[in-house]
A and B are shown apart, each in its own frame.
Chain A
């Protein structure tokens, strides 16, 4: 393909000796090293980059950098595909595959463009007005329609093969933006010895200096910025980040930076360099040198491919040696855009200027006239003529204009194949606003600029609304000096620059027809919002700008209103008769530009997605075929199926093993907290519902804990090691929480208690050896203590040795069988575990998992906090009123539990359930209803909290919280299940097995 728009020479960033070829929509395109997708595709003669969101109008390039809102492309194939990248920021490399978006079947011929013909049916608020009725249309009509027709880009396919990471960094001064102002501020701060981070979103520093006229200390701006950049790169106290977008500013100067480390170079990716890196910067001072963004002008059909910002046209020529066309019109309301006319003329491109101001007599317009560029003042572009479908501009119409003029009467045709527009410049104050910075409207700029900010952030240069070179330098050097602590003022170099005359706002360039007569004046290109939509919203009464924003979707696209914001406010202002400050401004939200999910996740994916906790026996469980279940962050062995066994069969075998022989459970996850001090016993009396000060040394007691609302939060067995020393067990998930809870009360309420609390959970491996042969197994392990029922009865404790292993042994049971919990320091855990397995072999010992544990305890009616309780369950509800002390004056939750409504007769109470059909296993959470009806709603009277098939009893068992349950013993209640089946179950007490507890005391 020929390259109609590549100029014969020029292009500061491209290396014409290095050809790069890539594909755009499958077609091969070649460009040069240094090109972006935007410049290379434009150079190839392709102007259409995508279709618009709502109307599917063909769209071309508008901007030069991150402000681009039309030319969004998807880059990469398959799993490496990334949608919605701005073509102006994507650097090309050999073999890159880029695709346009939001078009079907092709860019130049798009079916959805019919929306454009139907556009009078797509007014402002279209979504709210249309997709409302009937409701049934949503699923089958509206949603598929919206999904197909809308959608920016497509998601990548498959797992991302690249790596991502995050890093924290602290600095004295963070400079955001590497243009003239940023470089100057960074230089001044660094000279004072401050630790400086400077970040810029582009591959090279310099900002827009290369397309701005002027000189510093008689050096060209390009040379000056290059020299300053090199100095910063070399400095010991500066970290320079290029290709790095500052995406957000949060409280206390927490700033997030998104670095595209390897996107531009596949060689880096193949070496394993992280693709993106997210920087979490904490800065004492933030200097905002983000520059400014040029405004489009709202004229009829201002979205046609070939209409771009004046700075973009200039940048294409200067940076890439690419002309935006062969013959164009610069449409402006300010002097700055004359630079574009001058640059185009120099490059041999035909150009004329239409200036909406009555007079243009600054230095730049004068120079343009001298060069022979025709300048029409008091003129606007009133129409853009195109070939069929709007693909190519064939000419424009220029009409004379006076401020306030409503409709164009007379217009003249001018040949043109592109338009370079400039409605002035907006300070890029998005980051200023992310964290509550105030802004104010500047009449001279006709734009908002930073005002006050409560954080340590200072805006300088164009970001602060200052466009004069000398003013920028002075402000930047002063800020850099002042904010770097020492305050030594850095000398300010002298600047040379053409004088510029003020702009005059133009929010709407009139056309011959009204808003909707074939003319669209686009305000928000990305969301297809026109001036007419905003005007309609005003007529419909959307007075608040925030409402107008949501109603029309103006400023809500991924570009967050970078180019559209002020123009939209201008239109609203004219339509409502309010001034722009009265209209107000919508909120800019992070991110400044979209950034990747990969960088948000960093390395925390796959096995690092969540912190996973392993006991010391974990690998043994894996090696013995355990199936795992998560318990908090722990991974616990759920069951150990043998070859050919289902999980159910395996669980049944494990349960019967414990009931008939002996089983071994890894209970290391149980919380263990040492509590010691002269006030330890009294303290425990405050924490538990029941009494611990009466517990005898060497004895264990089961305790219940409530929060201050009177609801159960934890339970466990505590042993008294000595008079002032206790060891508390908590639930597996509760160790950290309960240990912090104890500390909190000691530190904040009972500060006079002399008690120390140390969480020793992880120091111990702990195993339950449960079953009638448990004592036999322990005897084989050479215990240093007497295991007899007399010496070590149920609920007692002994410390000693099993062979060589130091152990703490608790005779406690969660299965109802003879049971010992044996704890040994974790480093010995695996060794002791293996010894127990070996010693138990002759008694039929097998390991059992958490599901068997749960069935065993449910057969005994033991509760699990979190299963039988839901955060609103009291000890009385679960039938443990006996564990709530009546003697103690105060303990946590006591006063709340005394409230009448927690004692009312209609509380849900824990009961047992036996289904009529013993083979029916009720689902967990199944609801009981007062009366079964054909369909919901039905009045619910409670729910199943635990439900299992009990191999011991050969039938199903369940527990449930049922309204007034304890007074309904023997009653049969109904559980309607999804699908229509109704299971009926009889209410019983909760103990299904060994009601007398005979098996415990053997």
Chain B
């Protein structure tokens, strides 16, 4: 019948004016949830064979190879990021490679919204919603972490300094977006630590 009609979680909503940082939706990202045991050599090598890189085993880190990035989610769970079309290919190849190996590979490309937060002061904006110390040296490129954000579960990926991707379950997209817009208003901009003006 008709064409496949794709709609991203935010469906084209853009940030209002007057924010201290940039906020936008990243659409059409392919995501695969992978589960398996790092103690299972067959699993680790099968995955490496498909992705061309070792799965990150250090907690809260990510690795990239070409246009594929893998986020560590747990000691037996990873999120593989790619383009949407690549994710379909990867899914089939992974399932094939992991046949007979205890594992679970699921396409979850439609499960989360991805919101990119960018700019000077974005750590402070995020710290209005998370109790994590994003000023700590742990939060540099290559770090990713699940967390409680505002009142929901979220996943944070440090893309580079002052560029963060925040992943939330799709149904919470608007809540997260509204929370970010509320906490990123320019008059509420904060700089933690560093030289301050002496008040009159």
Contacts and interface: CB of A to CB of B under 8 A. Distances in A.
Contacts of A615: 171
Interface residues of B, number: 62
A803 B133 contact: no
B128 A603 contact: yes
Interface string A526-562: 0000000000000000000000000000000000000
B155 interface: no
Interface in A749-801: 754, 756, 758, 760-764, 780-782
Contact of B193 (A237, A608, A612): A237
A839 interface: yes
A616 B7 CA distance: 8
A41 interface: no
Contacts of B185: 163, 272
Chain A interface: which size bin? 35 or more
Nearest to A635: B171
Contact of B131 (A271, A280, A678, A754): A280
A167 B128 contact: yes
* Dominant SS among interface residues on chain B: loop
Given A238-B193, A611-B151, A762-B171, A674 B104 contact: yes
A676 interface: yes
Given A235-B195, A803-B2, A827-B8, A603 B179 contact: yes
Contacts of A832: 5
B190 A614 contact: no
A760 B197 contact: no
Interface string A720-735: 0000000000000000
20 contacts: A167-B190, A170-B133, A170-B136, A195-B193, A230-B198, A236-B195, A238-B193, A282-B133, A603-B128, A610-B151, A613-B171, A756-B104, A758-B104, A762-B170, A763-B111, A781-B1, A803-B2, A828-B4, A831-B4, A832-B5
B11 A169 contact: no
Interface string B43-62: 00000000000000000000
A831 B111 contact: no
A239 B124 CA distance: 13
B26 interface: no
A614 B174 contact: yes
Contact of A827 (B7, B33, B36, B132): B7
Interface in A586-636: 602-604, 607-608, 610-616, 619, 633-634
A240 interface: yes
A754 B35 CA distance: 12
A612 B175 contact: yes
B173 interface: yes
Contacts of B187: 268, 271-274
Interface of A: 163, 165-170, 195, 203-204, 229-230, 233-240, 242, 268, 271-274, 280, 282, 602-604, 607-608, 610-616, 619, 633-634, 674, 676-678, 754, 756, 758, 760-764, 780-782, 802-805, 825-832, 834-835, 839
* Dominant SS among interface residues on chain A: mixed
B106 A603 contact: no
Contacts of B174: 612, 614
Contacts, number: 176
Nearest to B124: A167
B112 to A, nearest CB: 7
Contact of B102 (A607, A612, A678, A782): A678
B116 to A, nearest CB: 18
Shortest 3 CB-CB contacts between residues of A and residues of B: A831-B5, A613-B171, A803-B1
Given A170-B133, A233-B198, A611-B175, A758 B33 contact: yes
Given A167-B128, A825-B110, A608 B175 contact: yes
Contacts of B85: none
A834 B77 CA distance: 35
Contacts of A763: 106-111, 170
Contacts of A825: 107, 109-110
A619 B11 contact: yes
A912 B179 CA distance: 46
A591 to B, nearest CB: 20
B118 to A, nearest CB: 19
Contact of A239 (B3, B6, B106, B196): B196
Contacts of B5: 828, 830-832, 834
A808 to B, nearest CB: 12
Given A204-B199, A619-B11, A762 B169 contact: yes
Given A195-B193, A608-B179, A616-B7, A826 B173 contact: no
B188 interface: yes
B5 to A, nearest CB: 3
Given A674-B104, A676-B104, A678-B102, A170 B195 contact: no
B151 to A, nearest CB: 5
